[in-house]
Amino acid sequence: MKMVLRWFPHGDDSVTLQQIRQIPGVSGVATCLPKIPVGEIWHSVEIERVKQEVTEAGLEMEVIESVNIHEDIKKGFPSRDRYINNYIETIQNLGKAGVRCLCYNFMPVLDWARSDLAFSLADGSTVLSYRHEQVLKMNPDRMAQEMKKKALGFSLPGWESERLSAMAADIEFYQQFTEDDYWKNMKYFLDAVIPVAEASGIKLAIHPDDPPWPLYGLPKVIIDAEHIRTFLNLNSSENNGLTFCTGSLGSNMDNDLPSMITEFGKTNRIHFAHLRNIKHLDKKDFDESAHLSSCGDLDMFEICKALLDTGFDGYIRPDHGRMIWGEKARPGYGLYDRALGASYLLGLWEAIGKMAK
State pLDDT tens for residues 325-355.
Answer: 999 999 999 999 999 999 999 999 999 999 9
β-strand pairing of 126-131 with 285-289 = antiparallel
pLDDT band at 356; cut points 50, 70, 90: confident
Q: Are 315 and 101 in contact (CB under 8 A)?
A: yes
pLDDT tier, 59 (very low <50, low <70, confident <90, very high otherwise): very high
SS3 (DSSP) at 63: strand
Query: Mapping DSSP to helix (H, G, I), strand (E, B) and coil, where does residue 283 land?
Result: coil
Q: What pLDDT score does 164 carry?
A: 59
The model's pLDDT over 70-119, given as tens digits with 9 standing for 90+, comes to 999 999 999 999 999 999 999 999 999 999 999 999 999 888 889 899 99
> To the nearest whole number, what is the mean pLDDT of the chain?
93
Q: How far apart are CA 99 and CA 16, in angstroms?
A: 21
Q: Alpha helix locations (H) across 97-203?
A: 132-137, 140-149, 167-174, 179-200
Write the single-letter amino acid at 109: V
How many residues in the chain?
A: 357
- Determine the Cα–Cα distance for residues 254 and 247; give it in Å rounded to an integer: 13
Name the percent of the chain lying above pLDDT 70: 92
| Distance (Å, whole) CA 203 – CA 238 | 8
**Burial (CB count <10 Å: 0-12, 13-18, 19+), residue 43:** middle
Least confident of 26-30, 62-66, 141-145, 157-161: 157-161
Give the dihedral sign, CA 345/348/354/357. negative
Whether the per-residue pLDDT at 157 is higher than 70: the answer is no
Tell me whether the omega of the peptide bond preceding residue 211 falls within 30 degrees of 0, making it cis. Answer: yes
pTM: 0.95
Contacts (Cβ under 8 Å, ≥6 apart) of 74: 106, 108, 182, 185
Question: Is there a contact between 54 and 20 (Cβ–Cβ < 8 Å)?
Answer: no
What was the pLDDT predicted at 175? 92
CB within 8 Å of 32: residues ≥ 6 apart = 8, 9, 64, 65, 66, 67, 157
Active-site residue list: 207, 245, 274, 319-320, 333
- Kindly list the distances between the CA atom of residue 281 and the CA atoms of 173, 251, 285, in Å, as whole numbers in the listed order: 33, 11, 5
- Whether the predicted pLDDT of 261 surpasses 90: yes
Task: Name the nearest CA neighbour of 6 among 63, 86, 52.
Answer: 63
End-to-end CA distance of the chain: 17
- Judge whether 160 and 52 are in contact, CB under 8 Å: no
Banded model confidence at residue 126, pLDDT cuts 50, 70, 90 = very high
Cα-Cα-Cα-Cα torsion 284, 290, 334, 4, nearest 10 degrees, comes to -100
Q: Residue 154: which pLDDT band, with cuts at 50, 70 and 90?
A: low
At 159 the pLDDT is 58
Residue 304 in this model has a pLDDT that exceeds 70: yes
∠67-70-75 over CA atoms, to 5°?
A: 140
Per CATH, which fold does 2-355 belong to? TIM Barrel (3.20.20)
User: In what helix (H) or strand (E) does residue 28 lie, and over which residues does it extend?
Assistant: strand 26-31
160 pLDDT higher than 60: no
SS3 content of the chain, % helix, strand, coil (to 5): 40, 20, 40
Does residue 192 carry a pLDDT above 70?
yes
Kindly report, residue by residue over 229-255, the tens digit of the pLDDT.
999 999 999 999 999 999 999 999 999
Cα separation, 60 vs 51, in Å, equals: 8
pLDDT of residue 158: 59
Amino acid at 313: D
Q: Residue 148 above 60 pLDDT?
A: yes
Contact present, 272 and 246 (Cβ < 8 Å) = no
CA–CA separation, 341 vs 338, rounded Å? 5
Instruction: Give, to the nearest 10 degrees, the angle between helix 300-309 and helix 336-355.
Output: 50
